[in-house]
Structure 1
């Protein structure tokens, strides 16, 4: 996803490669012959699921991959893309279900491809990642145990990245990145996309409360690297039998590291709670289970806990405002862009109507119930 800058060029930034062009790209850059290809949904990049043909003398290795073509704006930050790719490999080596990064014929992680669009030369960074099994958790009912495991996963991921080092690590300090929860006030530039209605009034109130109640406490939060987008389409699951024979699920994949940046532990749990609420029939109850899982690895401080409600509201605002704005630029991608909006406005209004104290009581009581081994 793009930063707050260069938004005027965003309508022209998204790649528009045909399937034939994508196949040719895989062959020329990575040396693989594509046997099957289909587009995958994406926000402002372009992704393809591809199957490759294996030579008879090379039958080993994966045959399914994801071709990622970054938009022209993010393609201008190769250091950031390389750090994100190295993090994917680091987490895989640490036992997380992330993809493998396929190297180019020149043994690089990425390749910068230039395309003559007629009026100008456009450059795109391309990568090839192994395709992960499973289905998005958005497609299954999420019970307390799965929500707990997802919270635990979010905390373990951030905790593990404390040990990650890279010469270009500073590229994760993305000062104007619209999706970092540090930058909620930047949403004001895009409020025009909402028109004049109650939704806009709620967003304006959240932004003001964020300024008053969160920005003044940022220095008290514990910093870490955030995945930043653990949504219900970026976590994949597979069926798994529990000890008592019941059908359960296990996480089989974590994808889309494009929103990684420096943030805080409390940001990651807030973002995860918000996205787990999106598909739930009882959204307010979700937070306590995710929080319990997260705190089983990284207990929050009282100051961090006190900011959680407003941070979840803020992430709803980021997602909903930017989806409305992006739809104006890319109406052809409306179905994907508005996934969160289908229920998001309703959930945000419900949280706002209930108020912070009532929502926190549900979350914190649920999280506390795990300490005694009785989850609510």
Structure 2
């Protein structure tokens, strides 16, 4: 196994395993809140709990929180987690539906706690965020208006982060981070998790095309800070005003900033398109509506548009390969890890079968119907 593969295995095996009683005691000790209920939440390689506290009279204040316990490997980079937390607070102040960061008793936004794991003691960074209302996009019918709003949200978020400043901002330059969309070729050491067969051959084809047609052109893409994981479970919605006789929804929450890194504007829209395809009955059509919303704020350049198809395919590969790899390490978490795989392989296969030219015609034609230009 390569050193990078070993690092990934170490991170996965370092996932926290706090009990509900430990989580309750942690919140009370570190954040000074009296806890009435604790409920585990699904997670990838960290651990999250929904926490309820009794509201004291008319004092106001939040009554629900999310306790985030970072895995042991991520907890070794407190600067990165500090920057992520400050980004959440910055976006909240700018009017985005992000959580508020609840300070620890020490006044800091993170606390380092140790837990006895039997043969060794592990340290984990913990944070407490206010709980956001709403249902994941994955659970609601998604129409063109919501797809457009999600695309616009992705662009507005990246544009707003142009103004973010922090002394440890360089922590977001995560060159070998497997989830950065520039790093699709770094999937190669993990392909054994797929075994032989058509799925592996499909991923190998995408990686070859990515190396030939995207990697060499990365310098032509405009750089920015990416959220990096605007998926159908990290965007929450609430009912809005009905439009055209169909149920309408508005975005009520943006979750999970753990995959933030320096990337490119086109990465953010490609990631959003891919995840909005996952639950769609007409997945290829999704991209045009998301793209139109994104380009209403940040029109893509010709070079960025030219790479969009392979970037979406590349994100499918990242999600599908790393899910298969993680399932080998944590089969008990397979149901959560394989959410995208339920439809993802079929959607990737269909995209490649339809072909880049035909898919681009659909995406760019839809974007034009909103009044977006073909390129800048």
Answer yes or no: same fold by TM over 0.5: yes
**In structure 2, distance between residues paired with 1:271 and 1:166:** 25
Question: TM-score, structure 2 length as denominator?
Answer: 0.96
Gaps of 5+ in 1: none
**In structure 2, distance between residues paired with 1:5 and 1:237:** 38
Q: CA deviation at 1:241?
A: 1.2
Contact 1:5–1:176 (Cα < 8 Å) also in 2: no
Gaps of 5+ in 2: none
Contact 1:4–1:178 (Cα < 8 Å) also in 2: no
Cα separation, partners in 2 of 1:245 and 1:59, compared to 1, 3 Å: farther
Who is 2:180 aligned against? 180
Contact 2:309–2:360 (Cα < 8 Å) also in 1: yes
Who is 1:122 aligned against? 122
Show CA shifts across 1:332-365 (max 9, x none).
1000000000000000000011111011011000
Show CA shifts across 1:209-267 (max 9, x none).
11110011000000000000000000000001157786411100000000000000000
2:220 is the alignment partner of 1:220: yes
| 1:295-306 paired onto structure 2 within 5 Å | 295-306=295-306
**In structure 2, distance between residues paired with 1:243 and 1:332:** 42
Q: CA deviation at 1:60?
A: 1.6
* SS, match of residue 33 in structure 1: coil
Who is 1:160 aligned against? 160
Who is 1:234 aligned against? 234
**In structure 1, distance between residues paired with 2:316 and 2:8:** 20
**In structure 1, distance between residues paired with 2:185 and 2:53:** 45
How many pairs were matched up?
A: 370
Q: CA deviation at 1:121?
A: 1.4
2:367 is the alignment partner of 1:367: yes
2:263 is the alignment partner of 1:249: no
**In structure 1, distance between residues paired with 2:368 and 2:6:** 42
Which segment drifts farther, 134-143 or 46-55?
46-55
Q: CA deviation at 1:118?
A: 2.2
Who is 1:35 aligned against? 36
**In structure 2, distance between residues paired with 1:139 and 1:84:** 27
Show CA shifts across 1:11-55 (max 9, x none).
421000000000000000000111011100000000000101244
**In structure 1, distance between residues paired with 2:47 and 2:62:** 21
Give every structure 1 segment of 4 or more consecutive aligned residues whose post-TM-superposition deviation is greater than 3 Å.
242-247
| 1:1-150 paired onto structure 2 within 5 Å | 6-56=7-57, 59-150=59-150
Contact 2:238–2:252 (Cα < 8 Å) also in 1: yes
Contact 1:4–1:177 (Cα < 8 Å) also in 2: no
**In structure 1, distance between residues paired with 2:266 and 2:152:** 13
* SS, match of residue 104 in structure 2: coil
